[in-house]
Chain A
Amino acid sequence: MREFGYQRVGDVAEAVAVLGDDPEARFLGGGTNLVDLMKTGVERPARLVDVRELPLGQVESTADGGLRIGATVTNSDLAAHPEVRRRYPALTQAVLAGASGQLRNMATVGGNLLQRTRCGYFTDVTVACNKRLPGSGCPAIEGEHHNHAILGASEHCVATHPSDMAVALTAFDAVVCYETADGPGELPLADFYLPVGDTPHLETALPSGALITGVTLPPAPVAARSRYRKVRERASYAFAIGSIAGALDVRAGVVHDVRLAFGAVASRPWRAREAERSLTGGPVSADAFAAAADAELAAAKVLPHNGYKVPLMRNLVVAVLTELAEEAAR
């Protein structure tokens, strides 16, 4: 582990200035991923700029009825916030489905969005990985990939994004707010993560040196009836092998609005727009739910050991939408 400089900053402008354009400097949030990566040698920063004490720790209602979540809000505080629980219950469920109580007390919203894949080849500096060392190859494709991507991957990388929180945020059209030396900016979460293509090492559209300051959730009445379901290889403290954030608004027996996002199937939280399109305006039935899942999963490309994710996601779509429809009917 390389020796590194450490500096704590008190306001956003200072944070951005202190980081500067130094490629060897990193912002430190809760450190629940970055510090692990430093221990394994995947990250070797020369400097850490600790942003935990920035005044970005609030969850506030916006004028239009949405929420603005500060970047340093901890996962625990986000999940417990009454307005999050009331207006976006799937977000609370997603956050609580992740990590452990101790980690959630440390992890921040900004850091959660920027966490790296847990692909076992990415975290082992003694083997090849196109994400870690561009051009070195992707051993997962021929090797261990039973929890790798089925959607949006490429021959260069099949890693998945590990966040649960980001799946729910994606379903609800979250917008990432950031600050650079040139001023503030915004990126819809849908555009935040870059396609894999042949540049799996380029993960986000965030400008160089930018600090995430928060996430805005637009008002989404459909989100009030939403849920997050996560399947993993043990009951707690494991990354998903498949997860889903779903929201359903049924009016007069017809799907008025629906949101679906998948986790653990792609290099980013996967908004299931094909499925949403298939459902909107249509009937509320298991057949329709299954057809919608199939529409989304038609693009799936499976490897020898991750093909189970297709029926898994199909089953999750049907199960979660069925539960939401039953809830609506009560």
Chain B
Amino acid sequence: MTTTTGIPAATGALGTARTRVEGRDKVTGAARYAGDIPLPELAHGWLVLSTVARGRVRSVESDAVLAMPGVLAVLHHQNAPRINLDYVGMVGRPDPVIGVFQQDRVPFRGWPVALVVAERPEQAREAAEQLVVHYDQEPHDVTFYAGHPGAYTPEDSPFGRAEETKGDVEAELAASAFVVDAEYTTPEEHHNPMEPHAATAHWDDGRLEVLDSNQGSTWVATELAQIFSLDPGSVRVRSEHVGGGFGSKGVRPTQVAAAMAATVLQRPVRVVMTRRQMFSAIGYRSPTAQRVRLGADASGKLRALDHRSECLTSTVHEFIERSASVGRVLYDAPAHHTSDRVVRLDVPTPTFMRGPGEAPGSFALECALDELAEKSGIDPIELRVRNEPDRGPISGLPFSSRNLVACMEEGSRRFGWADRDPRPGLRREGRWLLGTGMAAASFHSGVGPSTAAVTAEANGTFTVRINAADIGTGARTAIALVAADALGVDPERVRVVMADSDLGPAMFAGGSMGTRSWAWAVSMAVGELRERLALGGDIPPEGITARSDTSEAIGALAQKERHSFGAQFAEVAVDVTSGEVRVRRMLGIFAAGRIVNPLTARNQLVGGMIWGISMALHEEAIRDRASGGHVGPDLAGYHFAANADVPLVEADWVDDPDPDDPVGIKGVGEVGIVGAAAAIANAVWHATGVRHRHLPIRPDRVLSAGTNVPEHRPGA
């Protein structure tokens, strides 16, 4: 059929619930991931990670393993090709961990020291495990704690300012009717996407091709071109299906080692990480030590907000977990101080992990708000309403939209907050003490330049081409809905081609920016296409294609405070005789821009909230002081919520389109975890009367802390 121009009015595909277009492929196993795709002559590389936390590689005894069956090569610092790490990529300078086998220095336990390549993965693994590496070991320091003498204030970066100050915090605290001064800690936490990091590299007609699992093929391709000093057009990275990323799937040792080995051996090489390797080589969330001081007048209005956070980084690269920044958005006060400091230890470099900054920062700040509510006798929601700022507390900029109060009011109504007795320790059901808590949430709404192409095909369908990444979020489906809505056609008529660096530059799936960035480019291309189709005439066999590049439009965006907001509610049951804490229900109401696909948006928000349960109660990577490595780095040793820990979790939203975004999107990827752990911790206080300021709220801690209900015992 030949479609003529003239597109009917919008069908309203945006905002309709759609299952993932690739869902059937995924549940039937037809979808192929980076580690699944067969290639002729494929060889398998296995990473060897250091077993010392600081020192130098003295020698790598590769002869013995080269004699093992199937072994093709052992790459290490003495024989690896030289590569380039002197560049600035999409997220800044590279973490040296990706510059594999370039130096003998070992800056942490789990540093890649060699790659063993063999015909079969089993052979590569056995040879890698038998490879003897000699080290000159040096004393190490892996122990993070508040007030480490090595802590320093980092330089400001595009990701944020280290310190913001206005007013006189000490004077305002001294003049406050109510003061909270409390210290909170969060442990080292790890993202463990279900699909491990995997990359398959091969040379095809003079081009480096990488089948990868990543959050953005533009991101990875441009960096690989830099690393191997290649023309950008000589690198192609594809990432068709990705089993989760959560911030960990940028450029990692997998892609670089695979590409290096494919170059040396001139045959395809695949490198897949084990779960245990992922604990060292893909980044993680730094532990934090935070101190929050709040001062308020008799009406609960804040006079002072002081939030100081410390985190760690490696000795080779600086990554800052910006926990203190959350207060720069949520609350104003005449005196306002927020700072992030960092200490360099002999550990891997942390990285972005779901809700970077806001997730741990909101735990401290939103628990402190709850403590202020307790001290002042003001309801936690009312306290927050009284401290709603009308402009950015530090920036002074207007909010693009701020519907936090609407979230709290709707949440309060649905959760039954009005009936809550604020006194702790009153409710009991058998061995369980019951309590409820809430917290506010925010996460910045960003956007990155992207290009897209939309083609009106001669058969009446449309093809969208954009180098987006679907890391399990339903991005492919969302893009189809955005395009269909803009085209005014049924989504069934829209095909999305994505996750291929040859499609042109685009934003990665990260920072809650993916869908907004891609939707902008797609809607812009559709606008152009509709204009061309409006000219009339038949569609030629090759179709009519319109292209977009959002760089200029994004550059022209007015400076505003742009954030998603949310209100988290939790009910918990606590048995202080065993220390067990169970979440009984959670409700999150969000103001997160226009919702493209309610089904997958809810999926993301609920996923974030469940992660908040894990953060509150389970997650904690334990580092052994003596070895410098982890104890039990696998999914049996590193706990997160099992299904049995997850009760009824509801997520919903209020109407909140961003007025300056062509589609009205803000982003739902991260805000779901923000505040969730605080809501649970606040509920644990409400149940027991004890503040738990150190995550996770483990049974031994609950058991040891007991209850603190001095004035009004149950039944009294």
Contacts and interface: CB of A to CB of B under 8 A. Distances in A.
A144 B638 CA distance: 13
Contact of B644 (A1, A121, A142, A235): A235
A234 B617 contact: yes
Interface size, A (range):
35 or more
Contacts, number: 98
Given A118-B636, A144-B631, A3 B579 contact: no
A120 B624 CA distance: 10
A242 B575 CA distance: 14
A181 B715 CA distance: 67
Contacts of B577: 315, 319
Contacts of A237: 642, 644
Interface string A294-330: 0000000000010010011001100100000000000
A205 interface: no
A124 interface: yes
Interface string B622-643: 1011110111100011011111
Nearest to B583: A235
B704 A143 contact: no
A120 B642 contact: no
Nearest to B643: A236
A166 interface: no
Given A235-B642, A308-B579, A319-B431, A123 B632 contact: yes
Chain B facing A: main interface SS: loop
B190 interface: no
Nearest to A241: B699
A143 B618 CA distance: 20
A238 interface: yes
Contacts of B276: 40
Contacts of B631: 120-121, 124, 143-144
A236 B645 contact: yes
Given A233-B699, A308-B700, A3 B624 contact: no
Contacts of B641: 234
A142 B626 CA distance: 9
A315 B431 CA distance: 11
B703 A235 contact: no
A236 B642 contact: yes
B627 to A, nearest CB: 5
A127 B625 CA distance: 12
Contacts of A41: 129
A312 B629 contact: no
Nearest to A239: B636
B629 A124 contact: yes
A164 B699 CA distance: 19
Nearest to A242: B578
Contacts of B624: 121, 127, 139, 143-144
A215 interface: no
Given A231-B580, A308-B579, 11 more contacts: A41-B129, A120-B622, A120-B632, A124-B631, A127-B627, A146-B700, A231-B579, A234-B618, A234-B641, A234-B644, A319-B577
19 contacts: A40-B276, A124-B629, A124-B632, A127-B629, A139-B627, A143-B627, A231-B579, A231-B699, A233-B617, A234-B618, A238-B642, A239-B636, A241-B699, A241-B700, A305-B700, A308-B579, A308-B703, A312-B699, A315-B577
8 closest residue pairs by CB, A with B: A120-B632, A120-B631, A236-B644, A235-B644, A308-B700, A315-B577, A144-B631, A126-B51
